[in-house]
Structure 1
Amino acid sequence: MTSTSTPPGLARFNDLEEHTALAVLHEACASTAWGKRLIAARPYATADDLYAASDAATATLTAEDLAEAMAGHPPIGRPRSGDPASAREQRGMAGASDELKAEMLELNLAYQEKFGHVFLICATGRTGEQMRDAAKERIGNSPEQERETVRTELGRINRIRLARLVEEDARP
């Protein structure tokens, strides 16, 4: 089914039973629609094929699908206990000052009050200050602008998480 040039993690993912593959994808993105679209397009010959399918699926997510995806993300500055992906991705807040953490908490609450969902940003490689500044800037967006910004950020997060799946063992 998969060629010898297919990365081992991707080959394992291609070979997983559907329910197991959906569980693996749910760890990357909590949107059921996104996961089902990626499953339907298996097998993937290359990581780029998987990323392209992810981008296409992310582009078609409805407002409800986006809400489901965002529900799987903890607020910035409060990674989920026992979730290594969350802690790794939010590393930029780990060494932040108490003042910056308090400011981020206030921004998270104000953002959630305005938009009705968690502030979603691809935190990988960003400092706490960069995340704070992005939250300050984005809180001024219209709901329509912010929905598209969230879609873009979700796509970035999904690609990073899928890259880990391709590079590592695909078993849950």
Structure 2
Amino acid sequence: MTSHRLPRLPGQVALPEQKSAVPSPVRLDGFNSAPAGEVTRALLTCCRSLRWVHRLADHRPYPDLGALLAAADEAAYDLTPADQAEALAGESLAPLPDGAYSAAHTALSAAHAAYESRFGHVFVICLDEFTPGEALDQVLVGIRSRLANDPEEERVITADELRRLARGRLTRLVRQFAHQPRIADIRRPE
């Protein structure tokens, strides 16, 4: 198989080919057919922005998980600063893994306090690609490095972390909907 490369023009940045982050096919029947109130409550566990939630709920049905995640990304990119603040207000500090409540707890508390003092909101980071054992180190490294950001740069990073968090939560949520028996689907014995 030959690879053809496009000529690189000045000022352009080459991006590596993106692989689909969408895992095996997940049926969206349960998510698409659930009552609006149930879906709204469930989506609020993914992102606490009402604009984001209503946009996803109102545009059902989705043909597949990829389409739902694309819609979630688009809705996240369209969040206003007020929407982002609403979403951040719904976030809380992630619990530390078992056995990590020692000096690490003190360091993490101090880092969170410094971050909130500098930026005015809770620190968010998506840890989906890390093991629970790596989570604490990743949070500490992330928070310490992001403390050096200027507020506008951190706003952009925070928005992307919220989007990534929502994607992971949404993927897990849809899988739960796929495995829940719906009352309408349960047949009475004849």
TM over 0.5: yes
CA shift digits 1:44-85 (9 cap, x unpaired) = 010000000000000010111111111221124xx3xxxxxx
Of the three residues 153, 164, 170, the one matched with 2:172 is 164
Count of residues in Structure 1 that have an aligned counterpart in Structure 2: 151
Other structure's SS at 1:129 match: helix
What fraction of aligned residue pairs are identical, expressed as a percent? 36
Question: Are 2:55 and 1:37 equivalent residues in the alignment?
Answer: yes
Runs of 4+ in 1 over 4 A off after TM superposition: none
1:16 matches 2:20: no
Match of 1:155 among 163, 168, 172: 163
**Does residue 73 in structure 1 map to residue 88 in structure 2?**
no
Report the counterpart of residue 25 of structure 1 in structure 2.
43
Q: Aligned with 1:169: secondary structure?
A: helix
1:80-91 correspondence to structure 2 within 5 Å? none
Q: TM-score under structure 1 normalisation? A: 0.81
Q: Distance in 2 between matches of 1:151 and 1:100?
A: 26
CA RMSD in angstroms comes to: 1.7
Q: Secondary structure at the match of 2:45?
A: helix
Aligned to 2:143: 135
Q: Rate the CA distance shift 1:97–1:19 in 2: closer, same or farther, 3 A.
A: closer
* Structure exhibiting the larger radius of gyration computed from Cα positions: 2
TM-score normalized by structure 2? Answer: 0.74
Could you tell me which runs of 5 or more consecutive residues in structure 2 were left unpaired when the two chains were aligned.
1-24, 181-190
- Contact 1:100-1:129 within 8 A present in 2 as well: no
Asked if 1:61 is matched to 2:73, the reply is no
Q: 1:85 is matched with which residue?
A: none
- CA distance in 2 between partners of 1:133 and 1:165 (Å): 28
What is the CA–CA distance in structure 1 between the aligned matches of 2:163 and 2:69, rounded to whole Å?
9
Quick one: which amino acid aligns to residue 151 of structure 1?
A: A
Question: Against the structure 1 CA distance between its residues 94 and 148, is the aligned structure 2 distance closer, same or farther, given a 3 Å change threshold?
Answer: farther
- Report what 1:99 is aligned to: 103
Gap regions ≥5 residues in structure 1? 1-5, 80-89
Measure, in 2, the Cα distance between the counterparts of 1:160 and 1:49. Answer: 14
Structure in which a larger fraction of residues adopt helix = 1
